[in-house]
Chains A and B, each alone.
Chain A
Amino acid sequence: MSGNGGTGAAAGALRGVASHLSLRWVAAGIAVLTVAASGLFGGLRPTEKPTVPVIAVHTAFDGGPWTVTVNRALTLKTLEPLKKTEKAGDRWVAVRVRMEINANETWNRIDDVIRLPGVKGLRTVEPSEFYLVRDESLLVRELQPGIPEEVAFLWQQDGSVPRPEAMDVELWGMTHRKSSLTDMIEWLDSGPRALVLDVPVEDR
């Protein structure tokens, strides 16, 4: 087969080289090139936590399925008669929030609304209790769409750790998109979306 001039010579040279390479070398070469290429495009930077916007207390934040407004933070020595801490001597850390459901259905996924990332000695990462102020109850763990409610998220904290004077409150959110699993539109991608810095913590 005849090529035309230069390209023909290059092709011929390549073919010559290729015929001397084993498959293993070719695969290794491709791997090296791939890593180098991804490095060129920033793929090798250590992944940092994405920064989220800072908002003020008493500011409504739309997290997707819900809109929350952080109003107060407190520590409480006791929640009785409603509940006792699992470990004696522990205290409760509470964030009081106004919450409204934007989703189109009764919402009971309340574990991923809020976090206290910098607070030491919390027994769980997610809040362990959800308090509905209107009913003074820990037993209602869902909200109806379109009816804003005053609620509190509560964590149990190791009593031997000093109580926080101020804390950062991290607000989470979700995205409404098509699930690759079910092909239906769902609320997914739960994660931090905003931060309220240095909320003063009342002592009760």
Chain B
Amino acid sequence: MIEPRTHRAPRGRFVEGLASLGSLAGAGLLILVALAVGSLIPASDENIEHRQRPYAVQGGVGDARSTDKLDIRVAGVRGAGKIKDDDRTHDTGGVWIIVKVRVATRTEAGLIPYAAARDRHGRIYELSSRIEQSLNGRMLQPGIPLTGELVFEVPKDAATDLTVLFADNSLDRRMDRQVEIALPTVDKATVDRWLADAATTLIDTEVSTA
């Protein structure tokens, strides 16, 4: 025997209409709620920048860290008020920050794509183009590490607390892995001492031993 399908008393046309309207409205309401919740996520200006920010891989002096392209280890940092280049001495209205780095490219020959210093306010100082930087312009061959210095120029009040950033792309760093090496904080007296010292010379970039 065939079971009849669920047999319900016929409802009035008004109730029927209301019910179908209700379920339609209910579905519509759910859709609206979903859209509203979804639209709240990108609504804030800050959120775009935040969502697309680089992935930070953090470390300190002496730590080995990597981006997709590079293996990096910051070996040390010094400051100066004057740097001697081949032909002239370069003074500064801020402070020269000289970071000693050991770096190798992992799979493809290339230059260091991006390196910058960031202060505690989030301001970013790219490698200085005022002086000749032998490490910055050097073609790296895979697996052959080089040691050299990267030079930044920053305002005096930024020099006490800096982080060095490395990334694989200079133009579009959104969502890339970014290495962030915190430099040791220094006090104002140290910065003043750097500025009072005689002019310094940068080290030559060399293939690293060990």
Interface residues of A (CB under 8 A from B): 104-106, 132, 134-135, 137, 139-142, 144-149, 178, 182-185
Bound together, the chains give a CA A105 to CA B119 distance in angstroms of 11
- Decide if B48 touches A105 in the complex (CB within 8 Å): no
Bound together, the chains give a CA A146 to CA B93 distance in angstroms of 9
- Decide if A147 touches B130 in the complex (CB within 8 Å): no
Listed residue (B116, B130, B157) with the most chain A CB atoms within 10 angstroms of its CB: B130
Other-chain contact of B158, A146, A148, A184 (Cβ < 8 Å):
A146
- Chain A proximity of B204: nearest CB distance (Å): 22
Contact flag A140-B48 (CB < 8 Å), given A134-B91, A135-B90: no
Interface secondary structure of B, over-half rule: mixed
Please name the residue on chain A nearest to B131 by beta carbon.
A135
- Decide if A144 touches B155 in the complex (CB within 8 Å): yes
- Decide if B94 touches A104 in the complex (CB within 8 Å): no
Interface stretch (choices B59-67, B105-113, B121-129, B181-189): B121-129
Chain B 114-155, CB within 8 Å of chain A: the 1/0 string?
A: 001000011111101110000000000000000000000111
Listed residue (A104, A134, A145, A148) with the most chain B CB atoms within 10 angstroms of its CB: A145
Cβ contacts A to B, 22 pairs, < 8 Å: A104-B122, A106-B116, A106-B125, A106-B126, A134-B91, A134-B92, A135-B90, A139-B129, A140-B130, A142-B126, A144-B126, A144-B154, A144-B155, A145-B123, A146-B94, A146-B155, A146-B158, A147-B153, A178-B45, A184-B48, A185-B45, A185-B49
Interface residues of B (CB under 8 A from A): 42, 45, 48-49, 52, 88, 90-94, 116, 121-126, 128-130, 153-155, 157-158
- Decide if A134 touches B93 in the complex (CB within 8 Å): yes
Other-chain contact of A105, B45, B52, B124, B157 (Cβ < 8 Å):
B124
Contact count A vs B, C-beta below 8 Å: 60
Bound together, the chains give a CA A185 to CA B116 distance in angstroms of 20
Contacts of B155 on A, CB cut-off 8 Å? Answer: 144-147
Contacts of B126 on A, CB cut-off 8 Å? Answer: 105-106, 142, 144
- Decide if A104 touches B129 in the complex (CB within 8 Å): no
Please name the residue on chain A nearest to B153 by beta carbon.
A144
Bound together, the chains give a CA A148 to CA B94 distance in angstroms of 9
Other-chain contact of B130, A132, A178, A183 (Cβ < 8 Å):
A132
- Decide if B93 touches A149 in the complex (CB within 8 Å): yes
Please name the residue on chain A nearest to B174 by beta carbon.
A184
Bound together, the chains give a CA A116 to CA B77 distance in angstroms of 44
- Decide if A142 touches B45 in the complex (CB within 8 Å): no
